[in-house]
């Protein structure tokens, strides 16, 4: 007898509907013949042992017969343990253990334990999105995955704990309640931080640079001695980034769900990600990869901040693979069997010492590094990568008076207000274009020419800086984008010489000393 159920397989950050066809022969055999076809991986093939034991421990003793399971379409590779539940239901249905002859309006995912309880799976959110797109009415998922799946409207999500609970729900329609969540309330509750810029004493120039970076979505590099507060400043960047929209939260949650790092209790990534990988990370860990490609740190930081501390300590090949996602906002991973694209639109924040010992140009401590040593240290970061970082800012050590000052530093909330106003100006500016842009850092060349017109004074200032510092064409565009953001913070429609001058000052590593 043939019985069909629906499930789903995740590829990259998207899902495909999979039809699970179970055929059971009526002839008893002396040995078990259980075959799974349709390009299953090892985890899917191993499901036969989990499914048989789960059915047996739930009171369903399956006789040794010929069982063939086809996962259609058969030309797409299936991986993971999420097919356990639909396989078990298909076997039961084929033997007549279910009241319904078919279940076309429901999709099932879940890994079975040997006692019949259900474990969570990766990618419940993209599966729910695909179920909505294909107009599948109901989604039955393990309880641990239900909250993230329920973020998607237009599909009914039912959380289940065990195989017996699913069987009873199919046969009677009772026993499981639909889960619904208030996404607006979740997003508002998530906007709580445990850090604030008012904790940072001094560093007014660095704070201003971070404000400009967050207002325009610009990449930033902080250069300063150990203990000057570079990491402390970077960790507070998410507090002055505009709050998530629901669409952005859903995009980011999809990636975290597929990677298996989503907090099941929250169900939604409500704060902009802040990822800070160690400098021993591999290029596959940073960009993504593997035999079956998984998202890397640049994708997990999508719509948020990727912080690379001690930038020159990262292997050069690891840093170089970031150039494409920094430019395009996506990562394309090609394998012989498949090619996947992961979103990677993030703000890069990096920190480094000015020299190997860290005390070059420090007012209180002596530097023992020679100019060639400093040059070799800086040259670990390639010119093309530096060109893609819009803002380079010095972060000097904080003196005693600044640390002990009784003046209350500006809070993140006040800075955030200015950032949001600047972003609103940018969104209004780009709203008429065919290309969807969110901030100045994403402006293509034609938009730079259109929105960054220069007066004669601005032209002379920029020309002199280009000649003296030997700036590249890419650095020229970065300066104009940063100047446009500074003008937006001032709510000024036209670029002025002071905006260009400030933007040029944010190119520390382009100055002659570092060339």
**Nearest Cα residue to 294 out of 253, 249, 255:** 255
Averaged pLDDT for residues 52-66? 88
Looking at the DSSP bridge assignments, the partners of residue 140 are 108, 158
H and E: helices and strands count for the chain: 22, 18
Residue 28 has a pLDDT of 66
In this model, does residue 105 exceed pLDDT 80? yes
Residue 104 has a pLDDT of 86
The CA distance from 300 to 273, in Å, is: 7
Residue 231 has a pLDDT of 94
Which band of pLDDT confidence, cut at 50, 70 and 90, is reported for residue 514? very low
| Cβ-proximal residues to 397 (8 Å cutoff; 6+ apart), any chain | 224, 225, 227, 228, 362, 363, 364
3-state helix, strand, coil in the chain (%, to 5): 40, 20, 40
Residue found by looking up tokens 């006789």 in the block? 63
Q: 274 exposed, middle or buried (CB, 10 Å; 0-12, 13-18, 19+)?
A: buried
Parse the chain into domains and list their residue ranges: 2-172, 190-419
The percent of residues in the chain predicted with pLDDT above 70, rounded, is 97
Report pLDDT digits (tens) over 126-142.
999 999 999 999 999 99
Averaged pLDDT for residues 313-330? 91
Residue 30 has a pLDDT of 56
In this model, does residue 365 exceed pLDDT 90? no
In this model, does residue 207 exceed pLDDT 60? yes
The CA distance from 330 to 321, in Å, is: 12
Residue 20 has a pLDDT of 94
Averaged pLDDT for residues 408-423? 94
Averaged pLDDT for residues 383-402? 88
The DSSP line for 188-228 is: HHH---S--GGG--S-HHHHHHHHHHHHHT--EEEE--TTS
The CA distance from 499 to 479, in Å, is: 10
In this model, does residue 308 exceed pLDDT 90? yes
Runs of H (alpha helix) within 329-430? 371-378, 383-387, 400-403, 412-430
Residue 515 has a pLDDT of 40
14-28 and 65-72 as β-strands: parallel, antiparallel, unpaired? antiparallel
Q: 153 exposed, middle or buried (CB, 10 Å; 0-12, 13-18, 19+)?
A: exposed
**Strand 2-11's sheet: what is its strand order?**
33-37, 65-72, 14-28, 2-11, 106-108, 138-142, 156-160
Averaged pLDDT for residues 439-447? 90
What's the first-to-final CA gap in the chain, in angstroms?
75
Residue 29 has a pLDDT of 64
In this model, does residue 22 exceed pLDDT 80? yes
476 C-beta neighbours (distance < 10 Å), count: 16
Report pLDDT digits (tens) over 454-511.
999 999 999 998 888 878 888 899 999 999 999 999 999 999 999 999 999 998 776 5
The CA distance from 266 to 148, in Å, is: 8
Return mean pLDDT, the chain: 89
Residue 218 has a pLDDT of 95
138-142 and 111-112 as β-strands: parallel, antiparallel, unpaired? unpaired
Decide if domain 190-419 falls under CATH 3.40.50.300: yes
Which band of pLDDT confidence, cut at 50, 70 and 90, is reported for residue 265? confident
Residue 513 has a pLDDT of 41
In this model, does residue 395 exceed pLDDT 60? yes
Give me the sign of the Cα torsion angle 114, 118, 121, 126: positive
The percent of residues in the chain predicted with pLDDT above 90, rounded, is 57
In this model, does residue 368 exceed pLDDT 60? yes
The CA distance from 285 to 300, in Å, is: 11
Please, are residues 20 and 106 in contact by the beta-carbon 8 Å criterion? no
**Nearest Cα residue to 292 out of 260, 330, 244, 326:** 260
Please, are residues 459 and 500 in contact by the beta-carbon 8 Å criterion? no
355's tokens? 């020299």
Which band of pLDDT confidence, cut at 50, 70 and 90, is reported for residue 32? low
Report pLDDT digits (tens) over 331-363.
988 876 678 889 999 999 999 999 999 888 887
What CATH number does the domain located at 2-172 have? 3.30.230.10
The CA distance from 77 to 233, in Å, is: 45
In this model, does residue 512 exceed pLDDT 50? no
Averaged pLDDT for residues 277-284? 93
Please, are residues 348 and 219 in contact by the beta-carbon 8 Å criterion? yes
pTM of the complete model: 0.89
Which band of pLDDT confidence, cut at 50, 70 and 90, is reported for residue 45? confident
């Amino acid at each position: 007898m043939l019985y069909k159920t629906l499930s789903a397989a995740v590829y990259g950050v998207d899902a495909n509907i999979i039809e699970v066809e179970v055929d059971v022969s009526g002839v008893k055999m002396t040995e078990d013949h259980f075959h799974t076809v349709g390009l299953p991986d090892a985890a899917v093939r191993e499901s036969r042992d989990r499914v048989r034991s789960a059915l047996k421990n739930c009171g369903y003793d399956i006789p040794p017969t010929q069982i063939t399971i086809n996962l259609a379409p058969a030309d797409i590779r299936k991986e993971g343990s999420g097919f356990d539940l639909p396989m078990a239901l298909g076997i039961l249905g084929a033997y007549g253990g279910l009241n319904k002859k078919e279940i076309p309006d429901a999709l099932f995912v879940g890994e079975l334990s040997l006692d019949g309880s259900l474990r969570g799976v990766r990618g419940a959110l993209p599966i729910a999105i695909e179920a909505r797109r294909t107009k599948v009415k109901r989604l039955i998922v393990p309880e641990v995955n239900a909250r993230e799946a329920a973020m998607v409207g237009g599909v009914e999500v039912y959380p289940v704990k065990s195989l017996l609970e699913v069987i009873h729900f199919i046969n009677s329609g009772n026993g499981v309640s639909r889960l619904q969540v208030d996404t607006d309330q979740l997003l508002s509750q998530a906007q709580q931080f445990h850090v604030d810029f008012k904790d940072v004493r001094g560093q007014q120039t660095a704070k201003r640079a971070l404000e400009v970076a967050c207002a325009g979505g610009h990449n930033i590099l902080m250069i300063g001695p150990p203990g000057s507060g570079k990491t402390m400043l970077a960790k507070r960047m998410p507090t002055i980034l505009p709050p998530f929209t629901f669409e952005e939260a859903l995009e980011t949650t999809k990636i975290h769900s597929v990677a298996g790092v989503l907090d099941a209790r929250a169900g939604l990534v409500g704060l902009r990600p802040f990822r800070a990988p160690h400098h021993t990370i591999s290029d596959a860990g940073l960009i993504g990869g593997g035999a079956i490609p998984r998202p890397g740190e640049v994708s997990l930081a999508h719509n948020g901040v990727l912080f690379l501390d001690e930038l020159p300590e990262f292997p050069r090949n690891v840093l170089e693979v970031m150039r494409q996602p920094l430019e395009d906002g996506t990562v394309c991973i090609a394998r012989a069997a498949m090619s996947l694209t992961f979103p990677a639109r993030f703000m890069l924040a990096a920190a480094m010492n000015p020299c190997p010992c860290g005390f070059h140009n420090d007012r209180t401590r002596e530097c023992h590094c020679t100019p060639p040593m400093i040059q070799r240290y800086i040259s670990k970061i390639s010119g093309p990568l530096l060109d893609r970082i819009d803002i380079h800012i010095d972060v000097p050590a904080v003196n005693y008076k600044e640390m002990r000052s009784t003046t209350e530093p500006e809070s993140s909330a006040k800075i955030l207000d200015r950032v949001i106003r600047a972003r609103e100006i940018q969104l209004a500016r780009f709203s008429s274009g065919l290309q969807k842009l969110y901030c100045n850092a994403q402006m293509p060349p034609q938009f730079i020419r259109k929105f960054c017109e220069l007066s004669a004074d601005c032209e002379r200032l920029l020309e002199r800086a280009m000649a003296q510092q030997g700036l590249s064409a890419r650095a020229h565009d970065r300066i104009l984008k940063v100047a446009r953001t500074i003008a937006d913070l001032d709510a000024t429609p036209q670029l002025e010489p002071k905006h260009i001058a400030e933007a040029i000052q944010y190119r520390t590593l382009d100055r002659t000393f570092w060339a």
